Every structure is written in structure tokens, then in C-alpha cells.
Homo-oligomer: A and B are copies of this chain.
Amino acid sequence: MPHFLPRLGTMALALLLVVAVLPSPVQAQSTPLASWNDGTARLAIVDFVKATTDKASSNYVPPEDRIATFDQDGTLWAEQPLFTQAMFALDRVRALAPAHTEWKTEEPLKTVLSGDPGALGNLTEKDWTEIVGATHAGMSNEEFQAIAKQWLETAQHPRFKRPYTDLVYRPMLELMAYLRANGFRTYIVSGGGQEFMRVYAERVYGIPPEQIIGSSIATKYEKKDGKPVLMRLPKVFFIDDHDGKAVGINLFIGKRPYAAFGNSDGDREMLEWTGAGAGVRLKMLVLHDDASREYAYGPAAGLPDTKLGTFSAALYDEAKKSGWTVVSMKSDWKRIFPFE
């Protein structure tokens, strides 16, 4: 028990205990969408749920077809200054470097070890594939997930000085809980690694492993000491981004979502695929326009392209033209993070 407790009175102690057992944001739904300001975005959500769950509505959707898909990075949690999984990969390169002296002279690992932020920002997709191969493969899935779990428990976000899993958006947790309370199944459909996300998605978002769709590397069935394991190979199997999101949704779910949420050009095809279905479909894009509480970046916010989670002017135009809802973090969200 912390040393200051004896100094607190009984009332204060009771209050402390009450705070400690408060439900997590995922469960807290006394007022649905409490962190959303009144406005077109909140209204679009409420209207959509009313229309699809009211049996008298011509847009009623039976529960088994109520599918909602969410991008992760920049939609459910912060993706600046780098995707969380990229931070993990960079830390893994540093941790493994002593056993790989050749990395000091081999690109892209040499650049990673240099720690030069400018050079890191210029790593290409091919570079990242190699970094993932060096850090995410050569072990069983179970071993990989244990490493990722440990990292997530200790690593801290450079700006907020908190675990990365604290950097989830409270309004989006409320939105997922609201949809689930109305019979929707919530899926993550992310360019991020499927097995990486499965480590924390249940705890952080309330989303079970079978509802996580992500990018993946190939695995190989092997026997180790007579027990079967799935070994991770340094070989891309599926990239769940851009057109891959529509492909992945069809592959894993086989049903078209009624609602889809993203924040960047990588989510365009997921929203198009969702919108091409009959009846009412909710399509939303989160706009990062709040530098003081979170981050502001990208052309759609009138800012330079960071080449990370780009929300282009062209996507903004398509959103306006197609009736997609753009959510302003600055004006639509009362609070950003659960810890606020």
C-alpha cells in the first residue's frame, strides 16, 4: 500500500477506491457518445444506428449482417510521430543489434541504428519490409506475441510519456461500444500487423482475435520437441492496406460492412467498398486538425503531407462528393484520450 495512504481520511480513501474500480472506457456507456460534441458527425452516427436497428425502418439490417470496420492507426489511436508498430520495430532492431554486427553496415538497418529522425522518415516501404523481416520473423507466433506484449508494457510514447495503448481515442471507444450495444460486430481492418494487434486489441478495444484483420507475414507449420508451432517467415503474405482492405474484408468476413471508419488514403477503398452496398451505410474519416490536444497534419487539414497516414485533398474531395462524414478532432470531440 502506498505510504501516503495513512494520511488520507476515510472519505478520501473511499473516493480513491471508487475511482480505482471505475469501468474502463470500453465498458462505460451510461451516456452513449459522451465525448462527442453535438454536430453533424454525432448526428450521422445516431441516425445510422436508428435506421439500421429499427425493425420498422426500410433500412433495417438483421443483427447477423451488422458489421462495422475500423482502421486503427490514426483512427483508433495516435499514429504520430510514427506508427506504434514502427516504434516497436525500431526498438527491436536496437535490441537485436549486438547479435547482428553486420547491421552496422547494411541498409536499412544501418539507418535505423543511426537514430537520425530525418533519415527514419525517409525509409521506403521496401525498407520497412526488410525491417519487419529482421524483427518480426524467425520465431514462433507465440514467441513474437510475448515479445510484443512485453514491449507494450514498458515502452512509452515520446510526447505523452505514457504506454502507447493509452493513446486510444476515447470518442472512438465510445463509438465502438455504442455500435456493439446495438448489435454490431466491430472489426479492425488495419495495415498494421495482425498478430501484433491481437496482443492488445481485446484489452484495449474489446475486439477479439477473430475480428482483427491486418497485414501478415507467411507462417510455417513445424514440430518443435514434438509440439506443433507456427514459425514466422521473413516473407510478406498479405498487405491489408488500400485495395487490400476491400480484399481483406471480403476474405475474412465475406459480408459488406454497413459502417466503416478511417483517416487516410489507405482507407479509401474500404469506404468505397462499404458505400457500394445497398441501404444506409455510414462512412467516416477522422481529420487530424488538433495540434494542441493531439496532432494536426496532412493536406486535408491544410497542412504539409507527412507521408504518414496521408489524408489527401483528393480523398477529401471524394468524401464531400460521396456523402462521407469528416470528423474534426478539434470540433467534434470533447475529449481525445481516456486519461484526460
A residues lining the B interface (CB < 8 Å):
64, 141, 194-195, 198, 208-210, 212, 216, 219-221, 227-228, 230, 243, 246-247, 250-255, 269, 272-273, 276
Contact = CB atoms under 8 A, between A and B. Distances in A.
A92 to B, nearest CB: 21
Contacts of A219: 247, 250-251
Contacts of A210: 252-255
Nearest to A272: B228
Copies in the complex: 2
A227 B269 contact: no
Chain B CB within 10 A, most for which of A194, A221, A253:
A221
A251 B221 contact: no
Contacts of A252: 210, 252
Given A210-B253, A253-B209, A221 B198 contact: no
Given A243-B220, A247-B221, A250-B219, A276 B212 contact: no
Contacts of A276: 227-228
A251 B216 contact: yes
Contacts of A246: 221, 228, 230
Contacts of A198: 254
A255 B209 contact: yes
Contacts of A195: 254
Contacts of A141: 250
